[in-house]
Amino acid sequence: MTSAQTVAAAGADAPAGAVLWRVEFTETVKLAAPLAVSQLSQIAMMTTDLALLGRLGDHVVAAAALSHTILFAAFTLGMGLVSAVAPLASQAFGARNPRFVRRSVRVGIWAAFLAGVPLTALQFWGEPILLALGQDPQSAELAGRYLLGLCWSMIPAWIFMVLRNFMSAVNRPEPALWITLAAIPLNGFLAYGLIYGAFGLPRLDVLGAGLATTLVNVFMCVVAIWIAYTRHPFKKYRILGRFWRPDWPLFGQLLAIGLPIAGAFLLEYGLFAAAALLMGHISTSAIAAHQIALQVAAVLYMVPFGISMAATVRVGQAVGRRDAEATRRAGFTAMLLAVAFMIVMTVIVALTRHSIPLVFLGDTAAAGETMALAATLLFVGATFFITDGMQSVIAGALRGLNDTRVPLLIAAFSFWAIGFAGSYGLAFLLGLGAIGVWIGLSLGTGTFSLLLLWRFHALTKSHYMPAVPGTPA
């Protein structure tokens, strides 16, 4: 169905503007729903790992938090690079340029390999890095062991992201959803078996959890490649055609868009990594409670993150068609959808905050302090949940406009001049401890979301249209 037919089907008697907004809402939901569920499926695997590790003690949960601190510093760099595939491929799809869609996917896979080799090697130094940062030796040793199994997951995970971005750009996100749904039971089976030595598998404790994650990511990557290369409508793009042919001009464009995305991701995740380190200087209970509350925030964040990917695609496709009004409409529709969802979920979390920690630690007297603090952080994080979801979607809309450099500067100011300074000052100078850290996180993400909203409004109000690579200006 063409856009005109879709508008006609939405109701010929309705005002034209209302019909266009209704159609945009419908198309955004259709694209965002499988992406959001796919993201929730991935975080479900992480949550399963954390819950299984939690049975080994809150010191293991703390070690897992430190492991993710080191891994995500590297992982987000590659994730930012491959995220540039989404706007490039979406704009090419909107401009009806299938050859450029294929080229965008190809350079995204290049980026995954070129970034992955050195960043994977870096993970072997996880324990010395944590010791240098003043972390507890036992936690650092456990975290380093976890990373030995986990580090190999990065390259296949990034390639899967490239292919998911490609599928979304051509309005077919469902295969990525089915792959991640299939991976959930596989991950649970492997993680349980390798952590506890069940099903005839060796007992590897935290190392087993990392290896399970790696094996599942390899599975997802291989299946996504098979689908993209053999199934309709993806196979007509021949994404691996001339794979070894150099495409340095487009690779340079991917870096120009992707590196600022990676930088913004690093600044954001760096703030959360710094928050975990601050918690480590407060107490083991504080870092374990922080990890539990942050895992809940991560679960909530997956839906806005899925909506943000849909926003990138919808805005990018509108840019490819050179439709300025549709560009603005796509961005604001996604924002309203995300904020409405996060408000509802935040209320639910606030009402169930005392029960949620039981999922991770069980009902044990030894973990009572951790559970009480985690419940408090979940309540304090109410504002943070909403602003974090909002900033993700607005950033996704701006990526659809190839606008990534100014958001990088905004991220530096918001996350560090406001967020980290606020967390440190409130936690240690004013003596609020773990609660002060989370108030600082709310201040940082709130500032970032408001400044990004101003940026998107200013660009789209002026009908800004970036040049689409591979098409006439």
* Structure-block tokens of residue 401: 């406009």
For residue 32, give the amino acid letter: A
Residue 340, number of CB atoms within 10 A of its CB: 10
Residue range 375-418, pLDDT digits in tens = 999 998 888 899 999 999 999 999 999 999 999 999 999 999 99
Alpha-carbon span 90 to 130, nearest angstrom: 40
Asked if residue 363 has pLDDT above 70, the reply is no
Conformational region of residue 198, where left means phi above 0, alpha means psi within -120 to 50, and beta covers everything else: beta
pLDDT at residue number 470: 59
Report the 10 Å Cβ neighbour count for 289.
31
CB atoms within 10 A of CB 398: 27
How many angstroms separate the CA atoms of 383 and 371, rounded? 21
For residue 53, the model assigns a pLDDT of: 83
CB 121 within 8 A of CB 129: no
Is the sign of the CA dihedral 214, 217, 219, 221 positive or negative? negative
Give the pair of three-digit tokens for residue 301: 């964040």
Helix (H) or strand (E) holding 408: helix 405-412
CA distance 404 to 386: 22
**Token pair in block for residue 128:** 């010395």
Select the more confidently predicted residue: 53 or 158.
Answer: 158
Residue 122 one-letter amino acid? L
Reply yes or no on whether the pLDDT at 290 is more than 60.
Answer: yes
What is the pLDDT, as a whole number, of residue 65?
A: 78
Q: Specify the pLDDT at position 68.
A: 80
At 458, the amino acid letter reads A
Angle at 429 between CA 423 and CA 430, to 5 degrees: 85
Cα-Cα-Cα-Cα torsion 263, 264, 267, 271, nearest 10 degrees, comes to: -150
Q: How many Cα atoms occupy the beta-carbon half-sphere of 146 within 13 Å?
A: 26
Whether the CB-CB separation of 62 and 288 falls below 8 Å is answered with yes
The number of beta carbons lying within 10 Å of the beta carbon of residue 3 is 13
| DSSP single-letter state for residue 353 | T
CB 86 within 8 A of CB 225: no
Q: Is it the case that residue 307 has pLDDT exceeding 80?
A: yes
Non-local CB neighbours of 220 within 8 Å, separated by 6+ positions: 156, 157, 160, 179, 180, 183
Q: What is the mean pLDDT of the chain?
A: 89
| Residue 30 token pair | 């259709």
Q: Does the structure show a pLDDT above 50 at 122?
A: yes
Pairwise CA distance, residues 83 & 87, whole Å = 8
First to last CA, the chain: 28
Nearest to 282 by CA among 162, 415, 427: 427
Which whole number is the average pLDDT over 171-180? 94
Distance of CA 465 to the CA centre of its chain: 26
Residues 6+ apart with CB under 8 A from 457: none
Assess whether the previous peptide bond of 233 is cis (omega < 30° from 0).
yes
Neighbour tally for 90: CB within 10 Å: 30
For tokens 């660009």, name the residue.
459
Least confident residue range of 40-44, 186-190, 378-382, 403-407: 40-44
> What Rg, from alpha-carbon coordinates, does the chain have?
22
pLDDT digits (tens, 9 = 90+) for 193-245: 999 999 999 999 889 999 999 999 999 999 999 999 899 899 999 888 777 88
Give the number of other Cβ atoms within 10 Å of residue 128's Cβ. Answer: 11
Question: How does pLDDT run across 276-287, given as a tens digit for each residue?
Answer: 889 888 888 888
The pTM (predicted TM-score) of the whole model is 0.86
Query: How many C-beta neighbours within 10 Å does residue 203 have?
Result: 12
Condensed to tens digits (0 to 9), the pLDDT of residues 327-354 reads 999 999 999 999 999 999 999 999 998 8
Residue 364, pLDDT > 80, answer: no
Tally of CA atoms within 13 A in the half-sphere of 275 that contains its CB: 31
Task: Please list the alpha-helical segments (H only) found in 55-153.
Answer: 58-83, 85-94, 98-122, 126-132, 137-150
- Report how far apart, in Å, the C-alpha atoms of 8 and of each of 5, 19, 23, 29, 307 are: 5, 8, 10, 19, 25
